[in-house]
């Protein structure tokens, strides 16, 4: 049963520290999304990749966030420096490009910045 995996599942860090979150999309999926979910803002799209190329990162604070896909099996989301307002659950999702464009979500990384 193919799944999107994310590491770490939980991260507690101090303000100012660098945070790196990793995602392994489902093999064969060529779209990858990063979302942030909070109670206040709900689900927000941070970044979107197709065939490893970043196509949309308009939802991402550029001064501190960066997203990359060094290869087809790994997507990363970095925050440097982290701030308490970055505390949220970060989800990665992948999907096959084709007829229906559904997404498969990973379990998420719960980030707490103190």
Partner 1 sequence: AQSVSQHNHHVILSEAASLELGCNYSYGGTVNLFWYVQYPGQHLQLLLKYFSGDPLVKGIKGFEAEFIKSKFSFNLRKPSVQWSDTAEYFCAVIFLGGSYIPTFGRGTSLIVHP
* Residues of this chain that bind partner 1 (CB under 8 A): 31, 33, 42-43, 45, 48, 55-56, 91, 93, 97, 99-108
Rounded CA gap, 58 and 76, in Å?
A: 17
| Comparison of 18 and 44: residue with beta carbon closer to partner 1 | 44
* d(C-alpha 28, C-alpha 25), whole Å: 8
| Residue 47 C-beta: closest distance to partner 1, Å | 10
CB distance 21 to 6 below 8 Å: yes
Least Cβ distance, residue 75 to partner 1 (angstroms): 15
Q: How far apart are CA 36 and CA 44, in angstroms?
A: 5
For residues 12 and 15, which CB has a smaller minimum distance to partner 1 in the complex?
Answer: 12
C-beta closer to partner 1: residue 54 or 81: 54
**Closest by alpha carbon to 42, among 88, 104, 106?**
88
Q: Based on CB atoms, which residue is closest to partner 1, 12 or 55?
A: 55
> What does R_g of the chain's alpha carbons equal in angstroms?
13
Report the distance separating Cα 30 and Cα 49, nearest Å. 8
Shortest distance (Å) from residue 111 CB to partner 1: 15
Nearest approach, Cβ of residue 24 and partner 1 (Å): 14
């Amino acid at each position: 049963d193919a799944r999107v995996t994310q590491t770490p599942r939980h991260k507690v860090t101090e303000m100012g520290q660098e945070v790196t979150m990793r995602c392994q999309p489902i093999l064969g999926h060529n779209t990858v999304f990063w979302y942030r979910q909070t109670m206040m803002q709900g689900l927000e799209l941070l970044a979107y990749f197709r065939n490893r190329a970043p196509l949309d990162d308009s939802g991402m604070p550029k001064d501190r966030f960066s997203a990359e896909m060094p290869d087809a099996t790994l997507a990363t989301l970095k925050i440097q420096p982290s701030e308490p307002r970055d505390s949220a659950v970060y989800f990665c999702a992948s999907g096959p490009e084709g007829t229906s464009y559904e997404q498969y979500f990973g379990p998420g990384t719960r980030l707490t910045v103190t």
